[in-house]
Amino acid sequence: MTGSASWSTCRIWQAAVLLLIAKVLGGAEDNYELLFRQAAEFSQQGKYQEAIGKYNAALAMRPGAAEALNNLAVMYYTTGSYARAWDLAERALKAQPGMASAALIAGLAAVRCDRPADAIAPLEQVLRADPANRDALLGLASARIGAGQVAEAAALYEERTANAPLDADAWYGQAICYERLAEAAARELSKTPGASSYSKNLLGEFLLARGDARLAREAFGEAEAESPIATGSLQAAALYRRARELAGKSSEAFSRFVGLAPGAWQAHLFLGDVARQHRDFPAALEHYQQAAALQPQSPGPLLGIGTVRWELGEFDAAEASLQQALRLNPGSLQAIFELANIAIRRHQDAAAVPFLEKFLEAQPDAVAARADLGRAYLHLAQYEKAVDQLEKASAADQQGEIHYQLATALRKLGRAREADAALRVSTQIRESELDRARKRKAAQ
C-alpha cells in the first residue's frame, strides 16, 4: 500500500514537472514570436535602435534563428554598423544558405567594410536568382573595382545603363571605370619598350586631349630630351588609340551622369576635375567646395581642393585639405605624392620620406618620386639609402642633377672612383642639355 502510494505520488510529481516544462517552453516560443513582431513594428516605424534591442532579445532565445539574424543585420546596415551587419548576415547564410536577403546584406556590408573579395560571392548569388536586382549589381560592380577587376566592373555598369539609361549612379560608375582603364593604358604607353620617345609624344597628345596641359608639357619635354626620336611601334600606336577611346567613353559617361544629376556632389566633383584640367582654378575650387558641402565624408572633393591649392603654390591650405583627404582615404596615391612634394619644397626631408616610401610601394616605377627620395636621404645623411634610390633613378636623369647627387653620396661613403664616374656622367648630361638648348634657340 505504501509502495503503491509512493509510486503514484512520483508519477504525479513527474507529470507536474513535464507540464511545467511544456508551459515554459511554450512561453519561450510565444516570447520569441512576440519579440520578433515587436522588432518588425519598430523597424517599420523607423525606430531602429528599439528594433535592434528586440531582435537581440529574440536571438538570446534562439541564437541560430536565420530570420532574426537577417533582420538584425538589416538594422545594423541601416544604422551604418557595417561590420556587425556583415557578421550577422554571414551567420544567417550559414543557417540558411539560400536566403537572398542575407546574401544581399552580406555583400553590400562587405563592400562598405572594404572587403571586396568577401562581397563578390554573395552578390553573385543574389544576381543568379534576381538578375535585375539593382543594389546587387551596383554593389558587385563596386566590389569588382575594389578587387582590381575594373574591366569586369565596367561591363556590369554597361549592363545597367543599357537596361536603365536613366540610372545616374550607373553612369557615374561607368565613367570612373573607363577613367581608370584610360589611365592604365596611358601608363603602359609611357613604358612601351623600343619606342620611348614616340610613346611619350603620344602620351602628351593623350593628356592634352584630356585638358591636362601641365602633364602634357612634361611628356612632350621628356620626348624632346630623348635623342634620336624613335619611330613609333605598332604596340605604342595601339595603346594610344586604346587610351583615347577609353578617355572618350569616360567623358561621355560623365556627361550623361551630369545631365541626369546636375546637382549631385559627384557632378560637382566631375566639373571640378574638368575645370582643373583646363587650369580654370577658381571654377574648379567652386565646384570642389560645393561637392564637399554636399558630401563632407568623401575624400574626392577634399583631394580636388588640395590639388588646386598645391598647383597654385598655396602649400599651407593645400596640406590641410590633402591631410583630410588622406584620413578619409589612406590609400590615395595622389594625396601622398602631393604631400611628399610639399615637404620636399619646404626642405622638410624627414617629413617627405614616409610619404615617398609609401608612394613607391604602390608605384615602384615612379622615377621622379624615387629621385626625390634619394635626395631626401642624401640631405638626411643616409648615404647608403640615397645611393640605392639615386642609382635606380639615374636612367631618367635629363639635367645631370641625379648623377651629381649620386656622386655626392658615393663620395660621402668613401667610394671615390664611383663618385668620379657619376660626376663625369652628370657633366656630360649637362653639356648635352646645354647644346640642345642652344640648337633650339638657334632654330627659333
Yes or no: say if 119 and 144 are a contact pair by the CB < 8 Å rule: no
Yes or no: say if 265 and 234 are a contact pair by the CB < 8 Å rule: no
pLDDT category of residue 17 using cuts at 50, 70 and 90: very low
437 CB neighbour count, 10 Å cutoff: 10
Q: What are the boundaries of each domain within the chain?
A: 16-148, 151-262
**pLDDT recorded at residue 253:** 92
In the chain, the amino acid numbered 129 is A
Q: Is 224 a residue whose pLDDT tops 90? A: no
Angle (nearest 5°) at CA 335 between 330 and 338: 145
Yes or no: say if 400 and 427 are a contact pair by the CB < 8 Å rule: yes
Q: Is 210 a residue whose pLDDT tops 70? A: no
**pLDDT recorded at residue 250:** 87
The grid coordinates listed for 120 are 563578390
* Residue from 365, 404, 399 nearest 386 by CA: 404
Half-sphere CA count of 47, side-chain side, radius 13 A: 11
pLDDT category of residue 27 using cuts at 50, 70 and 90: very low
Exposed / middle / buried, residue 430 (Cβ in 10 Å: 0-12, 13-18, 19+): middle
Q: Is 320 a residue whose pLDDT tops 70? A: yes
Yes or no: say if 107 and 119 are a contact pair by the CB < 8 Å rule: yes
- CATH 1.25.40.10 at 16-148, yes or no: yes
The 10s digit of each residue's pLDDT in 119-141 is 999 999 999 999 999 999 999 99
What separation, in Å, do the N-terminal and C-terminal C-alpha atoms of the chain show? 132
**pLDDT recorded at residue 417:** 94
The 10s digit of each residue's pLDDT in 397-406 is 888 999 999 9
**H helix intervals, 329-366:** 333-345, 349-362
The 10s digit of each residue's pLDDT in 71-127 is 999 999 988 899 999 999 999 999 999 999 999 999 999 998 889 999 999 999 999
Yes or no: say if 52 and 72 are a contact pair by the CB < 8 Å rule: yes
**pLDDT recorded at residue 225:** 60
